[in-house]
Structures are given as structure tokens and as C-alpha cells.
Amino acid sequence: MDFKIIKFENVKFKYENRLILNGLNLEIKKGDKLAIVGPSGEGKSTILKLLSKLIKPDSGKIYVDNIDLNDISDNIWYENIGILSQSTHIFNRSLIENIKIGKGNASNEEIKKAIEFSGLNKFVEKNGVDTILGKNGLFLSGGERARVALARIFLKNPELLILDEPLEGVDKENENSIIKNINEFVKNKTVILVSHRFTILTLAKEFAVLKDGKIMEKNNFKSMNENGILKKYYQLELNNLKEFNR
């Protein structure tokens, strides 16, 4: 499925009678790398859940080109998107079975490349590919969970990548290498992401500010940094970030 643009048009969404999104309008063009920023609890992850078809708008529409997202079958949509999130499910099966969820008919060579790309080499050397990961990844660290999810995405090779707090539970030691791998992978893909860690947001070319249920501003890093928006939400990390050029 090849798309040129995704549009949120006047989207509203309530959760337990609280209005989360209030007439949201947003455009995501093919190849965009967009980060959604804003105060906690404003609905940033809600946008990603809507795009993932996990929930539906109470009103308004989401279009993929001129097609209502609701009219696209789940199977077709999920074939074309990849989701990296804090809630990525790990099955009580072997590592190789968990990785092959990304592509059931993956060859041994493809699996080898996915393991190398995701940085699971050391885990495999120590435990092997047939080691059982435990219910919901009980036997994995946060960094290992993220790497299993990344290996799945590598095999799937989707057009659209949705990142919802993908570094949750990942320690600083693993963070930089995971970000480097993701950055390499998304070069020719469309990305929309949300994270409270600014380091992963360095993948973005544009930033959209969500407040009061609407996109208040959308611009590049330079403009957002100069007007103080990013400093407002990521002051400490920006102070510690040695280099970030856009």
C-alpha cells in the first residue's frame, strides 16, 4: 500500500467523559519524520493509537490519501505499519518465534540480519535463539525487549513507523545504540513519534505541539528551539545534548 499523505480532519476523542482531542487537524506526508510534543496527558499517545487503529475517533476523520482509515481493512493496514511502543507484547515463546512475528516466512539469513541490526547478538551468543522469553518477556530487560521489537520491525520493513515511548524501560547504556539503529532504519520511511526522552526525538525533522486537544504549532527543530517550545518540555536533556543539527 503506497500512500502520499495522511490527514486528521477535525478529530475529536473522549476518554471517560474527558475531551482529549478537540478538533485535531494534522497532516503527515510520505517521508515525514514528525514528533508530537506537549504537556503530559494532552493526548499525544492517543493520536498514535488512532493511527494504529486501536481506537476510533468519536467524530472527525482520518484519511490515507482520500480513503477513510476506517474503510481500510485491519489486515492491509497492519501489513504496512510498524509499531514500537512501551507496550510491545512479548510471547511466552522462543526468541526466534517472537522475532518471526514480523515476517513468518523469514529466511535464516533475514533473521540473522535482524538479530545483528537490532543488537541482539550478545543475547543470542549467551542464550541461543531457542531460549524462551517468558510471559510478556518476563526474562528480558527493558533494552532486550526494545531490541526484540526492533528485530520484528526490521523483518517486517513497513512504510509507516509509529513510535510510542519506544525507549521506556531502556537504560542509558542501551539507549544510544538502539537510537542509532532506528535512525539508520527509518531513513526512507514515514515516522511519527512520541517520547518523554528527547534523545529519540532527534530522529524528527518536524515537531508538532499538542495542547488543549489541538495542534497549536508545527515547525522544524531550529524554529521550535528558538521560540522556546522544546526547552519548555525538554530543558534538561537539551542542556546535556552535545550536538543536534537540523
- Of residues 92, 105, 96, the one with CA closest to residue 134: 92
What the chain holds in terms of domains, given with CATH numbers, is: 5-240 (3.40.50.300)
The contacts of residue 28 (CB under 8 Å, 6+ apart) are 5, 6, 7, 34, 190, 192
Of 36, 12, 87, 24, residue with least CA distance to 193: 36
What pLDDT does 235 receive? 61
pLDDT at 245: 46
H or E, element range at 184: helix 172-185
Half-sphere exposure of 211 (CA within 13 A, CB side): 9
Which ranges of 53-133 would DSSP assign to H, the alpha helix?
74-80, 95-99, 108-118, 121-127
Whole-number Å distance between alpha carbons of 211 and 213: 5
Confidence (pLDDT) at 214: 94
What are the per-10-residue average pLDDT scores of the chain (246 residues)?
92 93 97 92 93 96 97 94 86 94 92 91 93 88 87 93 86 82 89 88 91 91 78 60 47
Structure confidence at residue 242 (pLDDT): 47
